[in-house]
Amino acid sequence: MNTITAAITAVGSYVPDYVLSNKVLETMVDTNDEWITSRTGIKERRILKDKDKGTSYLAIQAAKDLLQKSNTDPAEIDMVIMATATPDMPVAATGVYVATQIGAVNAFSFDLVAACSSFLFGMSTAARYIESGKYKKVLLIGADKMSSIIDYTDRTTCIIFGDGGGAVLFEPNTENLGVKDEYLRTDGIGRPFLKIDAGGSLLPASNETVANKQHFVFQEGKTVFKFAVSNMADVCEKVMKNNNLTGQDVDWLVPHQANKRIIDAAASRMKLPDDKVMINIHKYGNTTSATLPLCLADYEKQLKKGDNLIFASFGGGFTWGAVYVKWAYDTN
């Protein structure tokens, strides 16, 4: 009996129409295009301007794109995992609503929250359910409306984040393709450095927390950058070593799009040339849970069956890790 692995069999994506460019940001805060580009690699980001639409809208559109492209019947989906840091609301899980809206009537769903590592951790979770043999189609969606938690008078954060959604479908594979290995890490030492102070059980919403802007993202950039550069590169090296892979064996690095310098550092440690690194940070900024699937969507046509992909991310908390995937299909 062949071993069941969890393979990605379809990809979908969605980004809002509105483009927030560096030139526009120059009119909003004390910054400029050269400064932003040289330090982050970001030129523009997409923003969901409609106040009546939340993260679920981004997720639904990405899921619909996947279903249409792959001709998948949503009723056949067994599970929907919603990776997000910006759920529509507390208590009522966003993934549950998304599953219902796309017609996944036979699926159960839940939200997975691990900051910028949410989608990566979701990959591990989806793989385990597929490998169990009980689930045949697991839809993993990564989506965030980061503009809903960003203070656009704070130039340390407003230049970085954007809105978007991406989705992948996991199915069983018996050709030794799909998720091969992972190395996932967390460390609570990071809690003070990247967070939202208010709105949780520790500091519930009040007039004071709103007035003090404590419902927006706070980031101590230098500390986060330092941890991200070393740790994201470390886990990539660890996964490669565990699987006897060299830079020549890796076809693609699929990195979280937080900062171009962090991505470059990981690629350098892996001895990968630029043309083996998926980059779209210049177009979308950091879409948090959506960065990895948006990369796949942008590069899908270049992927070939059997390609070795290393996914890597780093997020608040701190959360980070790498996942090794053998690509399962040719697009063309």
Please identify which residue in the block is written with the tokens 């070795």.
308
What's the CA gap between 219 and 156, in Å, rounded? 7
Residue 291 main-chain phi, psi, to 5 deg: -65, -45
What's the CA gap between 324 and 127, in Å, rounded? 12
Please identify which residue in the block is written with the tokens 């693609």.
252
Structure tokens belonging to residue 294: 């948006």
Among 245, 151, 231, smallest CA distance to 187 is for 231
Could you tell me whether strands 18-21 and 44-47 are parallel, antiparallel, or unpaired per DSSP bridges? antiparallel
**Rounded (10°) CA dihedral 291, 142, 287, 46:** 110
Residue 32 main-chain phi, psi, to 5 deg: -150, 165
Within 155-307, strands assigned E span 163-173, 178-186, 194-195, 218-219, 252-255
Decide: 139 and 96 in contact? Cβ < 8 Å: no
What's the CA gap between 322 and 311, in Å, rounded? 5
Active site residues: 116, 256, 286
Structure tokens belonging to residue 241: 């070593």
Residue 312 main-chain phi, psi, to 5 deg: -145, 145
Decide: 267 and 274 in contact? Cβ < 8 Å: yes
Within 206-277, strands assigned E span 218-219, 252-255
